[in-house]
Amino acid sequence: MSDEQQKSGKPNENSLRSKTFFQEKDLWGFIHRSFTKSMGYTEEDLTKPLIGICNTYSELNKCHSHFNELADYVKRGVWQAGGVPMEFPTISIGEPYIKPTSMLLRNLMAMDTEEMMKAHPIDGVVLMGGCDKTVPAQLMAAASANIPAIVITGGPMLNGRLGGRSLGACTDCYGFTLEHKAGNLTDEELATAENAICRSDGHCMVMGTASTMASIAEAIGMALPGNAAIPAPDSRRKHMAERTGKQIVELVRQNIRPRDIMTMEAIENAIRVTMASGGSTNAIIHLVAIAGRLGLKLPLETFDTISATTPFILNLRPSGEYQMEEYFEAGGVPALMKELEAHLHLDCLTVTGRTIGDNLGAASARTLNRDVIRTVEEPLDPQGGIAVLRGNLAPDGALIKQTAVSAHLKKHTGRAVVFENPADLAARIDDPDLDVDADSVLVLKNAGPKGAPAMPEIGQIPIPTKLLKQGVRDMVRISDARISGTSYGALIVHVAPEAAIGGPLALVQDGDEIELDIADRRLNLNVSEAELAERRKAWKAPAPFYDRGYGLLFQERVLQANQGCDFDFLLPPHMR
């Protein structure tokens, strides 16, 4: 189907994109039919809706290592519903392996997915994602390509188990390595923990970025109800895959497209679910990017307004006690959304073909464990998980996961201990002569979108070893980097503008007084404007990290954190 047809309205079945490939009687129609039949498809198959299955299986992506089997169940559903499934690959981004950071490749995956969707004769697509950057990349692509699409995620791992204790990746990854660094765990004990923490297929099982984005896909209406929390090894994940395969055929028949579903009201629903869940700060970058692809401006103030009016009700790590396995057993995202029903836009369309309100009327949308999913009347905290900070240190905003901050640090003033870049941090953080104490504020510069490069998840600045040995386990830490959704502590991230383009963070020096007040949403550098002006005259931009290829493209065209870190040229023309 042409772009003009997409814009003009809903086509009838005879104008399916696949039919324009297979029913033409010219040379290319002959080639399309001949080559497709050579793979075993029949003349009858070529009359049915053709469904692309974007299978991001990779042995370099642990979270997606089970996707080939899952794709078979999606195919089963497509066949049962009268469609013809065809798998295609795209880049697959696995958090544990990619250096310098998976964020470098999110936009590349979004471009890859969009172009594959637009270039091939598919009438609809099933987007198989899971690991942190894969779901946002696919939603960005779906927003831009705007052909019928549905998301199925791979599901979280089962809880890790060690000595009768539940473990969660990667919240406990930080904990174990911290205690090992402090001398409280032996090498052998650390190895035992490594073997116990990840004991099944799936993505991280705490409310990290993967679980957050799976929840967002469901809350925004692009995944079937209940999808997010089913553990990867659970047979009900396979059932969900089959249902997803059936439903994409129905979406094609009804011509329901991503832009019909992902409206501003749907995005606001996704934000509210994120805040009620104690979701990852990464969600803000990704939602801003998705909104941008839809031609919608999504300022940070929207997140803060929704957070301030959304009770935090999901008792999941790193901000609570439980993990995704218990969340699934308690009712998952449908149950949480049912608790939030009075705060949601209930008339938003979803991939079920029905509205959020209709979906929440189902018997399955109910809470089965009140210790995991609280009521809005008796929340864990009256406000949502993420707060937006502003001040002269972050004029375009900064983020903090307030539900994961130690209580004594929610209002804090301390002197800065500054690291100019990630290499400087690695070289000096554990120096026994470092002039630092528990009240200091650790500051990391040049770790943002252009500076690091590509804004890696290094905002959980390590506690200096000498303080660990004194019992210190949390400090105020500030950077223009990101953090994993599994992180915890007084971590201020996404400072914008970043240091590498001359933002105020670039001007901070050792000994400067920094003031944090989460309740007042304030982050200030207590240095006079005159002094800052003098420092700015002496400031020099760091040398660019790349001189060729995709990395150079990224550095030259990436937007700032508060703008979603998409490429400027991928936004609709009126958004540039």
Q: Using one digit for the tens of pLDDT, what is the confidence trace for 68-122?
A: 999 999 999 999 999 999 999 999 999 999 999 999 999 999 999 999 999 999 9
CATH number of the domain that 517 lies in? 3.50.30.80
- Count the neighbouring beta carbons within 10 Å of the beta carbon of residue 68: 12
Q: Where are the alpha helices (DSSP H) in 310-401?
A: 324-330, 332-339, 356-360
- Residue 557, amino acid: R
- Asked whether residue 346 is assigned to any structural domain, the reply reads yes
Q: Which helix (H) or strand (E) holds 415?
A: strand 411-419
- Tens digits of residue pLDDT in 206-247: 999 999 999 999 999 999 999 999 999 999 999 999 999 999
- Asked whether residue 3 is assigned to any structural domain, the reply reads no
- Tens digits of residue pLDDT in 240-296: 999 999 999 999 999 999 999 999 999 999 999 999 999 999 999 999 999 999 999
pLDDT of residue 1: 37
| pLDDT exceeds 60 at position 61 | yes
115 and 176 together in one domain: no
DSSP state of 285: H
Q: Is the peptide bond before 100 cis (omega within 30 degrees of 0)?
A: yes
Q: What are the residues whose beta carbons fall under 8 Å from the beta carbon of 137, sequence distance 6 or more? A: 93, 106, 107, 109, 110, 113, 129
pLDDT of residue 82: 97
Q: List, as own/partner pairs, every contact residues 37-46 make where C-beta atoms lie below 8 angstroms and the sequence separation is at least 24, other chains included.
A: 41/84, 45/84, 46/18, 46/22, 46/84
Beta bridge partners of 386: 401
Instruction: Give yes or no for a contact between 371 and 304, defined as CB atoms under 8 angstroms apart.
Output: no
347 and 441 together in one domain: no
112 and 241 together in one domain: yes
- Tens digits of residue pLDDT in 3-17: 444 443 444 455 799
pLDDT of residue 27: 95
423 and 485 together in one domain: yes
243 and 308 together in one domain: yes
266 and 191 together in one domain: no
CATH number of the domain that 85 lies in? 3.40.50.2300
- Asked whether residue 518 is assigned to any structural domain, the reply reads yes
Instruction: Report the chain's mean pLDDT, rounded to a whole number.
Output: 95
464 and 475 together in one domain: yes
214 and 312 together in one domain: yes
| pLDDT exceeds 90 at position 379 | yes
- Asked whether residue 371 is assigned to any structural domain, the reply reads no
The total domain count for the chain is 3
222 and 283 together in one domain: yes
- Asked whether residue 393 is assigned to any structural domain, the reply reads yes
130 and 180 together in one domain: no
pLDDT of residue 294: 98
pLDDT of residue 9: 42
- Asked whether residue 211 is assigned to any structural domain, the reply reads yes
391 and 490 together in one domain: yes
- Asked whether residue 548 is assigned to any structural domain, the reply reads no
Q: How far apart are CA 550 and CA 539, in angstroms?
A: 28
The domain containing residue 460 runs over which residues? 387-543
